[in-house]
Amino acid sequence: MILAIGFFLIWPKYQKFTKLKTDLENKELELRYSEEHFEKNQKLLEDLEEYQDQISKIDLALPDNPSFAAISLINFIGNVSDQNGLKLKNLKSFSITEPKPPAQTPGASAQPQSKVKEILVDFEVSGSYPALKNFINALENSAKLVEVENLTLEIKEKEEMPTFNLKIKTFSY
Amino acid sequence: MVIEVIPKREIKGPSWQNYLLYFIIVLLILAIIGYFVLDHFVKKSDQKLKEVEGKIEETKSPEKRALEDRLKSLSAKIDDFTPLLLGHKKSSNLFVFLEENTHPKVFFNKLDFDAKANHIKISGQTDNFFTLGQQLLIFRNSEFVQNLKLSEIKISKEGKVEFTFDFSLTPNLFNFSQ
């Protein structure tokens, strides 16, 4: 009878108890890790609050919505060309390029794909050479990350105002 | 009536049997107690496990997930932004370069600048071959000019010398510190 009690009641109970003890230890470890991870994140966020200005600048340079960024860039080109004495004559094209997947090398760990999209705007402005210089300076010094991809110009003797073809690039997320 | 003067000795079993019986009884009691003690610990551990699981679920609350997602996206954005900022070019330095490296008697009227390849094709005119030669020397002596080529040299109807320069510019010309 004692053997029956030991075998059918105590032994399964003991096994259940040891399993629960192991599970509990694992879960406590998981909880400790989660809590530490959360505390670390919260500390990181508090530290980042001190850099709010810089983060806002990054958000402005790398806006989240590419369509909005493209429209905003075109609007910006219009305003800056006006302010610098250039006339926006023709908006030839604009395109949003998705990021290319990173090149995979065998044996190397997979690189995370960048989410940065390129926005290319091709347009034509007319005006004087100093106005073009000021226009490009203003684009480069703006809070947006704007780069000139291509610039062509041709000054014809009889032409009053030369025309400049510009292809510029900005980025979005 | 028979009176027993000498009482009979009580017949007793062997003492080890008694001990065994006691031992079995004690063992049985211990087994029953052990079962209930184990059952108590199992219930306690089970309850504690549920509490810990509940706390783990709390750490996965939408607010904490939102915090983690925000940090992840911010970190990725900063990582992606850094190379863009480091590679940001100041293309307007091209104008500074041209203004500093153009002969006073040379007039450039056509420009094609590919900022990606840092390549420039520039056409112009001047009064004579002497000033064209001086312009060539100016470009050749510039630290920023590479692979300089002079081509399409011809004399216009007005007697001016027309030409095209083709060259690459070193990337450091377009650094923001320049």
Cα gap A137→A112, rounded to integer Å: 34
Distance from CA of B2 to the nearest CA of A (A): 47
Residue contact A6–B41, C-beta within 8 A: no
Q: What is the ipTM of this complex?
A: 0.72
Residues of chain A by 3-state class (helix, strand, coil), percent to 5: 50, 25, 25
Q: Which of B60, B85, B91 sits opposite A148 (nearest CB)?
A: B91
Each residue's pLDDT expressed in tens, for chain B with a length of 178 residues: 556 667 666 666 678 888 888 988 998 899 889 889 999 999 999 999 999 999 888 878 888 888 888 888 888 888 888 888 888 888 889 999 999 999 999 999 999 999 989 999 999 999 999 999 999 999 999 999 999 999 999 998 888 999 999 999 999 998 876 5
Q: Model confidence over B29-71: pLDDT tens digits?
A: 998 898 899 999 999 999 999 999 998 888 788 888 888 888 8
Specify whether B167 is located in the same domain as B103.
yes
Structural domain boundaries enclosing B71: 29-85
Q: Which of B27, B46, B94 sits opposite A2 (nearest CB)?
A: B27
Specify whether B69 is located in the same domain as B100.
no
Q: Which of A10, A20, A23 sits opposite B31 (nearest CB)?
A: A10
Distance from CA of B156 to the nearest CA of A (A): 14
CB atoms within 10 A of CB B11: 5
Q: Model confidence over A33-47: pLDDT tens digits?
A: 988 888 888 888 888
Last residue of a domain, one of B21, B50, B85: B85
Predicted confidence at residue B161, as pLDDT, reads 94
Do B107 and B156 meet the contact criterion of CB atoms below 8 Å apart? no
Specify whether B39 is located in the same domain as B59.
yes
Specify whether B97 is located in the same domain as B160.
yes
Specify whether B100 is located in the same domain as B155.
yes
Interface residue B6 vs chain A (CB under 8 A): no
Specify whether B81 is located in the same domain as B104.
no
Do A58 and B78 meet the contact criterion of CB atoms below 8 Å apart? yes
Token pair for A114: 């960048």
Specify whether B153 is located in the same domain as B108.
yes
Closest of B152, B16, B46, B145 to residue A17, by C-alpha: B46
Distance from CA of B158 to the nearest CA of A (A): 13
**Assigned CATH for A63-99+114-172:** 3.30.70.60
The identity of residue A131, as a single letter, is A
The pTM score is: 0.72
Specify whether B105 is located in the same domain as B60.
no
Predicted confidence at residue B10, as pLDDT, reads 67
In a domain, B158, yes or no: yes
Last residue of a domain, one of B21, B53, B85: B85
Cα gap A54→A59, rounded to integer Å: 9
Cα gap B139→B168, rounded to integer Å: 11
Distance from CA of B4 to the nearest CA of A (A): 44
CA–CA distances in Å: residue B104 to residues A39, A137, A153, B152: 67, 24, 20, 21
SS3 A153: strand
SS3 B151: strand
Specify whether B64 is located in the same domain as B130.
no
B residues 38-57 near A, CB within 8 Å?
38-39, 41-42, 45-46, 48-49, 52-53, 55-56
Of the pLDDT bands very low, low, confident and very high (cuts 50, 70, 90), residue A5 is confident
Closest of A127, A143, A124, A130 to residue A76, by C-alpha: A143
The identity of residue B118, as a single letter, is N
CA atoms within 13 A on the CB side of A52: 4
Last residue of a domain, one of B85, B103, B125: B85
